[in-house]
A = this chain, B = another copy of it.
Amino acid sequence: MAGVSEATVSRVLNNVGPMREETKQKVIEAAEILGYYPNAIAQSFARRRSGNLGVILPYVPKVHIFSTYYFSEILNGIGEQVRELGYDMLLIFRKPGYENGYIDLFRSQKVDACILLGTTDTPEERKALKALEEAGHPFCLVNQHFEGEHFLEVDADHEQGAYEAVKHLLDEGYRKIAFLNGPPEYSNSLDRLKGYVRAMTEAGLFNPDKSITEAVPPEWLNTGNYSRTSGYEAASRFFCNKDQIDAVFAANDRMAIGLMQGFRDLGVLPGKDIAIAGYDDSDGARITDPPLTSVAVPFYQMGMMAAKLLLSDSESEDSEVDGASDHRQQVQLGTKLIVRSSSKGNQA
């Protein structure tokens, strides 16, 4: 009907390969007459546009993800940007092993671009992300860095954030400062470990010749999973060495809050018998007793920026001849220490 070959029809409707605008129009007109009236799916079919920004959420059983300060703030930021740019947000609740499905999201045109939250540095994840990159599908990581890769990332300077929190504890007169970190598969856990070790080493407390993992005395290092419960449980482990510990820096507020509850139940008063500092500056930090010293991270801005980088990126791609865009950026925003009474020295 359009007077062109079947292969050309296929190319036009799948928007693959080069073709003359005139040919494209002929095919599209014929398709419309044949019943492909221009509804949004037919349009997206031709234009390769869903109008959706995908957001892949991590698998966290039993956690109310929208009630978590960390995720809700990032989602607020993404939502604000998505709304401004006229997109919708497709939330994808990943299941274990889901990374194999990333590429299908793009192939099936469910999303034009994708933000991944709560990814971990595993071989499977790296492989899936590299496949996305090679296929030219735009995606962005928030608060997670893959060393050696050049993925689009919006991160915060967690090494400096942790450094400042520990430096503050040192300035308040504490010396026996333990660290409750999150799982090492998150780059931000590793960043905080680096900041902790740097501050302790500068203060002459850690051996500068040792590697980062060897520098920390084992009784000063514990690992939780960023949940309140894991913080609560860590309290009793720290308690076994309570004479060798006068402060704990926790890698997020939820663990810090659990830690405070745990210590209190053991008869150790947070802010009095032991100093506590958290991380994230969540709403919870303001309402604990005593209020919790924490490190503010601009999660809202990080979410906005990730959406903006992606959606402007995917729009500019359209206007390029070969689509070989290379706008890849790795953004790192600053953090800010917020001092409250949980870390104030009572060391008269």
Contact = CB atoms under 8 A, between A and B. Distances in A.
A258 B13 CA distance: 56
Interface in A38-94: 39-45, 50-52, 64-67, 69, 71-73, 75-76, 79, 82-83, 88-93
Nearest to A48: B41
Contacts of A51: 110
Nearest to A6: B34
Nearest to A53: B91
Nearest to A74: B66
B64 A66 contact: no
Contact of A66 (B9, B11, B40, B72): B72
Contacts of A300: 64
Interface string A9-21: 1110110000000
Interface stretch (A101-109, A179-187, A198-206, A242-250): A101-109
Nearest to A54: B88
Nearest to A109: B41
A35 interface: yes
Interface string A218-248: 0000000000000000000000000000000
Nearest to A289: B287
Best-surrounded residue of A69, A73, A110 (most CB of chain B within 10 A): A110
Given A10-B34, A13-B36, A90 B93 contact: no
Interface of A: 6-7, 9-11, 13-14, 34-36, 39-45, 50-52, 64-67, 69, 71-73, 75-76, 79, 82-83, 88-93, 95, 104, 107-110, 283, 287, 300
7 contacts: A14-B35, A66-B71, A66-B76, A66-B79, A67-B72, A67-B76, A88-B91
Nearest to A111: B88
- Interface of chain A: mostly helix, strand, loop or mixed: helix
A345 to B, nearest CB: 26
Q: How many copies does the complex hold?
A: 2
Contacts of A44: 41
Contacts of A67: 69, 72-73, 76, 283
Contact of A108 (B41, B72, B89): B41
A45 B35 contact: no
Closest 8 CB pairs of A and B: A10-B35, A40-B108, A66-B72, A83-B93, A64-B76, A89-B91, A287-B287, A66-B75
A104 B6 contact: no
A91 B55 CA distance: 10
A109 B40 contact: yes
B79 A40 contact: no
B66 A108 contact: no
Nearest to A44: B41
Contact of A72 (B36, B64, B95): B64
A55 to B, nearest CB: 9
